[in-house]
Structure 1
Amino acid sequence: MAVPRNLRRQPADGSLVSHCTHHHIAVFLLTFFSYSLLHASRKTFSNVKVSISSQWTPSDINTTALELQPYELWNSSHLFPNAEEATLFLGMLDTIFLFSYAVGLFVSGIVGDRLNLRWVLSFGMCSSALVEFVFGTLTEWLHFYNKWFYCCLWVVNGLLQSTGWPCVVAIMGNWFGKAGRGFVFGLWSACASVGNILGAFLASCVLQYGYEYAFLVTASVQFAGGIIVFFGLLISPKEVGLPELGEEQEGSAEEDANKPLISNNEEDEDDQNYSIQAPDTSNQPKAIGFFQACRLPGVLLYSLAYACLKLVNYSFFFWLPFYLSNNFGWKEAEADQLSIWYDVGGIIGGTIQGLISDMLQKRAPVLVISLLLAIGSLFGYSRSPNSKPINAFIMAITGFFIGGPSNMISSAISADLGRQELVKGNSEALATVTGIVDGTGSIGAAVGQYLVSLIQDNLGWMWVFYFFILMTSSTILFISPLLVREIRLLLHERRLRMRTG
């Protein structure tokens, strides 16, 4: 009895190691640090919220504000009458950023599949750095404070930052096949967490001189990174004469390595000739359409699941330093440094869970188990005592079970979805699919940031954590159809192996 193609074991690490060149390493590092710098600039805003809130409220009722001269000039031009209204506006800015970021992701994915990915990524990094400099540094130097101006800048910043993730995932998908993708992308997706750590570190180092210098430092580093990306990043192996993924051996294990772990293998055996795209006889494959990408198996379910999960993950990203300062009374710089442990947990979680999903050759079971444990860790963290070591430990565990699955869906699973059988390994679907998944996730995160500020203001932080538990449970609900299908496939594969001895 012949073993079905979907049950043939891929080489454990052979294809991954044998095809890895110094170009692969350079692409890994450049895409890693380019997105890290984008995330570092976002983290700067979340880390200086207390300082910004102090600056935007009148100093006669704000004991935390620095003494500003001339006194009359400042108090005649303050933005808000009290810190509560300033906090709500900061939450609204988060929501504005994420909504524009979400809209930009849907567009950037399509643009990235049609233009040079390096140009799009470099333009987004440099332009976003300039906007952040104007928002956080130039306005403070000029003592120009205007709510509408801040909102407009943050809309533009969200659109520009959206060019990052679809481009870097598409470039990584061009260079790395499915052999070891869970581990490679799990390790690589730590770029967001490393960016958070870098942003927190840079902000805490210069925050004593004023929040404007935190924006200045991160914007400068990000702009320099965009220049390096423009001159140094290779978007695909063919630029240096290497074969594209799937071209080395027709019908070989590497061809199988480009199939996604989320596909329905039982149907694939019967529908080998079906494709959502007509076969392209030219050397350059046509980019897949937006609605075609939405119809690919698993795209909508994972997009909805990611909307709920990114809401929780980004709430920690935007509000964790503020929560630590507000709830425990810790200094802002100390809260910034302590919040790093959430990202450390996410880095470890994404790497380990990606490796396990490679070994199982299935993603959904790993995700669901991690998210079930995340519910318990959220409940435990909501009751963390006023102790920095205990808080950091539970925070790292929470990051492991929430940040890990979030990294997997936004990177490895997005690459799986964009290179599955129905698009015939067409790399021009990668940025579009990634934009859909991450864009839908950002819409959920955008709604969540306003809800977090609203729930906290009316009910308190405990109810915020209950809200996080509800959203994590919703993530499991959306993944459950994929979980059932993958468990059935695992049982089917086990029965076939038992029959074949």
Structure 2
Amino acid sequence: MSIPGWLKAPPPAPRLSDEEVRRTYPRLRTQVFLGIFIGYAGFYLIRNNISLVAPLLMEETGINTIGIGVISNAVLFSYGLSKFFSAMISDRANARYFLPIGLALSALANLAVAFVPWISGTVATFATVMFINGWFQGMGWPPSGRSLVYWFSTNERGMKTSIWNTAHNVGGAGVAGLAALGLAWTGEQWQSAFWLPAVVALAVAALAFFLMRDTPESVGLPPIEEYRDDPAKVESGDDPNMSAKEMIFKHVLTSRTIVMLAVANVFVYALRYGVLNWITVYLADKHNAEIGSGFIGFAAFELAGIVGTILCGWMSDRVFGGFRSGAGIAFTVATAIAIAAYWLVPVGTPIWILILLVAIIGGLIYGPVMLIGLQAIDLSPHNVAGTAAGFTGLFGYLLGATLASSGVGILVHNFGWNLTFIVFIAFSILTVVLFGIVGRDEKELMEAHSKRSTNHEA
């Protein structure tokens, strides 16, 4: 897959002096991290805003829960496709250009939803534009994951990735605040939940471009493994003449570890979006809550995810000794318990208890979300790390988000909430089983990495 010359990753620059490396490397690592954090948070301001204003939209347009599910699923389905195919480009593209371009194009798609009336006239037209939005959204994760691989080494990447992963939650909470502000400002016109976040996202895209750089080598710095004296966990050992297609086939498509992570991601994303996308509808339908309570629940889900993600990263390092699958199992079991409580509390339960349960679910589920992305880039060679993460995302969004959006819409419409939550519990059990399978491979790779580190020190 060819890419334009201006978008290609820049070649290595002449090596800076040792003094310049010592002075420049720490500053640029911080700067790049801020760039991918702020930039990726920006994508969540404009990813799938329809879930926030679904009750208003259904009232104004007559679209039912199935239609809302189809529209929501369009952006997530497209995002899953794009995350994989964009990753194959991103692994060879300049991250500094790739991420801001995707964010700006996604913002323009959201502005179109807000200001072109015929787009929201039918489910088909609305879903089509959101599909386009989803494709641009897929340009955010791959360059971010690529930057984490090139700027942060193995023994620090767990904590760095968990902190970066909270950009999901910062952006998710931010859109809830911006949507609420827009509705208050315009007298509850649902379009404001699209155009106001889009304007902010355009500014974020410009800031990300200013902060980001491609790889350390592209600015005259040594590789991160050399700088931190920390060899990569997985080295390809490939023939230098091997094509990108052959490397993807070898290290992604036929890797049992990556395939199992991808399947686990189906159920993790079904749980994540199955709860998140339906907070306002579920609270209104079962507990007669106002839409404002749904907004608070949406923000609580995302904000709690910040704490949960960092806690999961810390536990995977300190409690589980780098064994990511063990942390994934613990957090998934806890998620299932929290989802069961959210489902089984009786009608009339105080709204603050419901929002607290939503927050607990958000705090727990983002641990496995982060871990699967981390494992994909950590257990793959650098030159296909983005593609490996994109492959897990492809499964998560094409299948997991479909189950969470259209699938939940159909289940609720035809069978009610009880069966829907039983399905959520079943997904949790399947996720635990898959983490157990991945864990066996992960332990073998950890042992091999430990031996290489020992030999490197010797």
Q: TM-score band, normalised by the shorter chain?
A: 0.7 to 0.9
Q: Secondary structure at the match of 1:243?
A: coil
- State the Cα distance separating 1:183 from its structure 2 match: 1.4
Q: Which residue does the alignment assign to 1:473? A: 429
More helix by share: 2
8 Å contact kept, 2:34–2:211: no
CA pair 242-487 structure 1, distance change in 2 beyond 3 A:
closer
1:454 matched to 2:413: no
- Counterpart of 2:293 (choices 313, 328, 334) is 334
Following superposition of structure 1 onto structure 2, how do residues 110-129 of structure 1 map, counting pairs within 5 Å?
A: 110-129=88-107
Deviation track 1:220-264 (CA, whole Å, cap 9, x = no partner) reads 111222223234311212233221122347xxx511xx215xxxx
CA pair 287-175 structure 1, distance change in 2 beyond 3 A:
farther
- Counterpart of 2:313 (choices 335, 344, 354) is 354
Deviation track 1:388-422 (CA, whole Å, cap 9, x = no partner) reads 22112222222222121112212x22221234xxx
CA pair 145-486 structure 1, distance change in 2 beyond 3 A:
closer
Structure 1 vs Structure 2 CA RMSD? 2.8
- State the Cα distance separating 1:132 from its structure 2 match: 0.9
- State the Cα distance separating 1:157 from its structure 2 match: 1.0
Deviation track 1:190-233 (CA, whole Å, cap 9, x = no partner) reads 11111110000110112132111221111111122222323431
Q: Secondary structure at the match of 1:41?
A: coil
* Number of residue-to-residue matches in the alignment: 420
Q: Could you tell me the percent identity over the aligned residues?
A: 23
* 2: CA distance, partners of 1:413 / 1:464: 29
- State the Cα distance separating 1:119 from its structure 2 match: 2.0
Following superposition of structure 1 onto structure 2, how do residues 393-432 of structure 1 map, counting pairs within 5 Å?
A: 393-410=356-373, 412-419=374-381, 427-432=382-387
CA pair 152-286 structure 1, distance change in 2 beyond 3 A:
closer
Q: Secondary structure at the match of 2:271?
A: helix
CA pair 302-144 structure 1, distance change in 2 beyond 3 A:
closer
Q: Which residue does the alignment assign to 1:259? A: 233
- State the Cα distance separating 1:275 from its structure 2 match: 4.3
Moved more, 306-315 or 230-239: 230-239
- Counterpart of 1:240 (choices 210, 213, 219) is 219
1:390 matched to 2:390: no
8 Å contact kept, 2:104–2:201: yes
Following superposition of structure 1 onto structure 2, how do residues 28-43 of structure 1 map, counting pairs within 5 Å?
A: 28-43=33-48
- State the Cα distance separating 1:345 from its structure 2 match: 2.7
* 2: CA distance, partners of 1:105 / 1:139: 27
Q: Which residue does the alignment assign to 1:375? A: 336
Q: Counterpart amino acid of 2:168? A: A
8 Å contact kept, 1:98–1:445: no
Q: Secondary structure at the match of 1:108?
A: helix
8 Å contact kept, 2:83–2:139: yes
Q: Which residue does the alignment assign to 1:46? A: 51
* 2: CA distance, partners of 1:222 / 1:432: 25
* 2: CA distance, partners of 1:287 / 1:341: 42
* 1: CA distance, partners of 2:333 / 2:98: 38
8 Å contact kept, 2:326–2:435: no
CA pair 87-480 structure 1, distance change in 2 beyond 3 A:
same
8 Å contact kept, 2:91–2:142: no
CA pair 489-206 structure 1, distance change in 2 beyond 3 A:
closer
* 1: CA distance, partners of 2:446 / 2:151: 28
8 Å contact kept, 2:279–2:298: yes
Q: Secondary structure at the match of 1:347?
A: helix
Q: Secondary structure at the match of 1:330?
A: coil
* Larger gyration radius, structure 1 or structure 2: 1
Q: Counterpart amino acid of 1:409? A: I
* 1: CA distance, partners of 2:23 / 2:308: 27
- Counterpart of 1:138 (choices 111, 115, 123) is 115
Q: Which residue does the alignment assign to 1:439? A: 394
* 1: CA distance, partners of 2:200 / 2:24: 32
- State the Cα distance separating 1:470 from its structure 2 match: 0.9
Moved more, 166-175 or 480-489: 480-489
Q: Secondary structure at the match of 1:21?
A: helix
Please, what TM-score do these two structures have when normalized by structure 2? 0.85
Moved more, 223-232 or 448-457: 223-232
List runs of 5+ in structure 2 lacking aligned partners: 1-21, 450-458
- State the Cα distance separating 1:484 from its structure 2 match: 4.0
Q: Counterpart amino acid of 2:233? A: K
Q: Which residue does the alignment assign to 1:56? A: 61
